[in-house]
Amino acid sequence: MLRRAGPSLRHFLLERKSSAGYSSYSSEATMSRPVQARRLEGIDKNIWVEFVKLAATYSTVNLGQGFPDFPPPDFLKEAFVRALSGENHLTHQYTRAFGHPPLVKILAQFYGKLLGRDLDPMTNVMVTVGAYQALFCCFQAFVDEGDEVIIIEPFFDCYEPMVKMAGGTPVFVPLTPKAPKDGKLMSSADWQLDPAELASKFSERTKAIVLNSPNNPLGKVFSRGELELIADLCVKHDTLCISDEVYEWLVYDGKEHVRIASLQGMWDRTVMIGSAGKTFSATGWKVGWIVGPNRLLQHLRTVHQNSVYHCATAAQEAVAQGFQRELELYGKADSYFVQLPGVLQQKRDWLVQSLDAVGMKPIVPEGTYFLVADISEFKSDIPDVPNSDEPYDSRFAKWMVKNKGLAAIPLSGFYCEAHKNTYSHFVRFCFAKEETTLKAASDILQKWKREKSSP
Ligand code: PMP
């Protein structure tokens, strides 16, 4: 029989609390030993958590976080509905850990066609919880304490903390802008690597380079020549290439997306990462994948089976059907992979014009659904904070969302701490938005411009 704690037990507990400095009541417990693992040191800040919250609190128009505010294509939504309500109730249960068989089969066929090689669905493809988990698996599987990983700045911000969590050291190399000629708008192609500087970052400690083409945030699509430069260095220094290609279909003006895995000597050392979130405008589904040689993927499977183990079956089934359709329509006018970039290119051009008209000089992106704009001319609008360590673009983005209701992301968030002030006069906008959203953003900017020019 349970006895209620009588006065003597309570007295004993209170005594313990006052003498030992802690209470047995868990709500008041404080531990004296450090709870945070050392590998989390310095990586607790996250730009998305901060700016998503600000956008939710103040923004009327959100061009900040990168997701479409339009729906995925009907054929994909219908495939999901069929996966959920069809006769095969096994879509509600676990499927194969490394990828639902219909999805890995069609991905092997699709990427096999793109790369011109036979791919084994069971060993050359793995499905992940979005591209995020694909990246996490790569760093955990390949990076040891003391290994260096080259990251090209500006970069999708999670690369740096993921390398550090794995015990590695990120080594940064910048894309540097060249001023465009004849008063033209700058293009993302004007941001380039210095070949000598890139070569100087490779050493025997270099385990991998992270390549992101098309690049978030600039929208740069690396040319074949630039990729060959990276490939040669990878081969020379026996380095892996973690190739984040989530925006592979979002390429404009007839530019070609070249897969580094297709270059001489690269298949064997490259893992290629994709995302249904970007490919089919369904970021909330969190279906991603990795394609590569079995000698690399076998280690990714080890991380996957000991972490998430499995991704949502119904979403994988729907994405498989989406790829089946796209394989049949490959290169044709009805293909979503042809139509989506066409629609996005118009949205890009519209936002380029709107920003240019108000003096926020846009860098015209060759790919992705992001656009970076120069905000130097708006310095006088933003209250100065003397001796602030916070970059101007971050203060600008916070001020803009609070005072103008327009959300964007500061470019400094895509640089490491030491370099965050290098190009801190830019913000990133996402243009994967309905016409009404883009128009609302343009109205805000024009009103702002009028207020600026009226005495
Ligand atoms: N890589 C890049 C370059 C991205 O921009 C993103 C998403 N913003 C991801 C990976 C993560 O993709 P997912 O949503 O599929 O996890």
Half-sphere exposure of 389 (CA within 13 A, CB side): 3
Q: Please determine, for residue 12, whether its predicted confidence score (pLDDT) is greater than 50.
A: no
Q: Please determine, for residue 7, whether its predicted confidence score (pLDDT) is greater than 50.
A: no
CA distance 213 to 84: 34
Identify the residue with better confidence: 108 or 379: 108
C-alpha 331 to ligand 1 mean position (Å) = 24
The percentage of residues in the chain with a pLDDT greater than 70, rounded to a whole number, is 93
| Cα 128 to Cα 106, 132, 248, 368, distances in angstroms | 15, 8, 17, 21
Q: Average pLDDT for residues 17-26, to the nearest whole number? A: 48
pLDDT of 385 reads 82
C-alpha 187 to ligand 1 mean position (Å) = 22
Say what the alpha-carbon torsion angle 311, 317, 322, 325 is, to the nearest 10 degrees. Answer: 140
State both tokens at 71.
């729906």
Top mutation candidate among 216, 250, 289, 428 for ligand 1, by most atoms within 8 Å of CB: 216
pLDDT digits (tens, 9 = 90+) for 219-233: 999 999 999 999 999
Top mutation candidate among 126, 271, 278 for ligand 1, by most atoms within 8 Å of CB: 278
pLDDT of 140 reads 98
Q: What order do you get walking across the sheet with 370-374 strand by strand? A: 361-363, 370-374, 426-430, 409-410
Phi-psi region for residue 130, left (φ > 0), alpha (ψ -120 to 50) or beta?
A: left
C-alpha 132 to ligand 1 mean position (Å) = 6
Q: Residue 364 phi/psi, 5° resolution?
A: -70, 115
C-alpha 87 to ligand 1 mean position (Å) = 33
Identify the residue with better confidence: 157 or 18: 157
Among the residue ranges 26-35, 317-326, 373-382, 420-429, the one predicted with the least confidence is: 26-35
* 3-state DSSP percent of the chain in helix, strand and coil, to 5: 45, 15, 40
CA distance 201 to 149: 9
What the chain holds in terms of domains, given with CATH numbers, is 44-71+335-453 (3.90.1150.10), 74-329 (3.40.640.10)
Q: Average pLDDT for residues 14-36, to the nearest whole number? A: 62
Identify the residue with better confidence: 183 or 406: 406
Nearest ligand 1 atom to the CA of 133 is 16
pLDDT of 286 reads 98
pLDDT digits (tens, 9 = 90+) for 293-314: 999 999 999 999 999 999 999 9
Top mutation candidate among 127, 132, 159 for ligand 1, by most atoms within 8 Å of CB: 132
State both tokens at 35.
């709870």
Kindly provide the residue ranges of all beta strands, DSSP E only, lying in 292-400, ordered along the sequence: 361-363, 370-374
Half-sphere exposure of 334 (CA within 13 A, CB side): 8
State both tokens at 375.
């905000």
pLDDT digits (tens, 9 = 90+) for 337-389: 999 999 999 999 999 999 999 999 999 999 999 999 999 999 888 888 888 88
Top mutation candidate among 139, 153, 275, 316 for ligand 1, by most atoms within 8 Å of CB: 275
C-alpha 1 to ligand 1 mean position (Å) = 56
Contact criterion met (CB below 8 Å) for 201 and 173: yes
Contact criterion met (CB below 8 Å) for 360 and 445: yes
Strand, helix or coil for residue 364: strand
Nearest ligand 1 atom to the CA of 283 is 14
C-alpha 64 to ligand 1 mean position (Å) = 14
Pocket lining for ligand 1, CB < 6 angstroms: 66, 130-132, 156, 212, 216, 244, 246, 275, 277, 283, 288
Average pLDDT value for the chain: 92
CA distance 124 to 104: 9
C-alpha 108 to ligand 1 mean position (Å) = 21
